[in-house]
Structure formats: structure tokens, C-alpha cells
Homo-oligomer: A and B are copies of this chain.
Amino acid sequence: MKVIADLCIVPMGVGPSVSRYIREVRTIIDGSGLTYDMHANGTNIEGEMAEVTAVVEACCAKLHEMGVERIFCTMAFSTRNDKVQTMVDKLTALNSDA
């Protein structure tokens, strides 16, 4: 099942600044080969549900390895079967009259 997900990974217990952890997350997502776009509050990523969730799990495993004892994560996604749609298509639809 194809999903377009918005992922947010929150390292807990390691101080208020977490960008060094989010850079590791980005490296893992980038290495997955999936289409993604990092924004100010998370990362949009598209792929098969099992691929996307495997990437999320790999990110969490890496943060645990780096010493993050607890991680909070949100993943919002949509799936549709009336048509094939990408992240780019969603933004394009917003800017058309269709």
C-alpha cells in the first residue's frame, strides 16, 4: 500500500537541541532511496507502507544507538485507491483549478 507520510521524530531526554540527531535521521532517510522532503517540523516521505515504516524503525534504532533512551514519534499518512498521487501532485493540485 502506497502512502504519503509526514514523519516527526522527537528525541527525549537529550536536551532541547536535537539537530545532530535529526541530521542522522536525514542521512538514513536519504539512504533509503525513497522520495522525501524535510520541512521545519518533520519530513514528508512517500513509498510503500512497509518501506516507510522500516525507515522510521531504522531511524529510531540509530537514535537509541546514539544514546537517546526514549523517542517520541508521529507519523501521519494518507492512502487512496481512487488514483495514484505523489507529494508533488498534491502541491500541484492546490495550485490548479481542477
Contacts and interface: CB of A to CB of B under 8 A. Distances in A.
Contacts of A22: 94
20 contacts: A4-B41, A10-B12, A12-B16, A12-B18, A12-B78, A13-B13, A15-B69, A19-B90, A39-B91, A40-B44, A40-B90, A41-B44, A49-B57, A50-B57, A53-B53, A70-B78, A70-B80, A73-B76, A74-B76, A75-B75
Interface of A: 1, 4-6, 8, 10-19, 22-23, 26, 37-42, 44, 49-50, 53-54, 56-57, 60-61, 64, 69-82, 87-88, 90-91, 93-94, 96, 98
Given A22-B94, A60-B1, A37 B38 contact: no
Nearest to A53: B53
A11 B8 contact: no
A54 B54 CA distance: 11
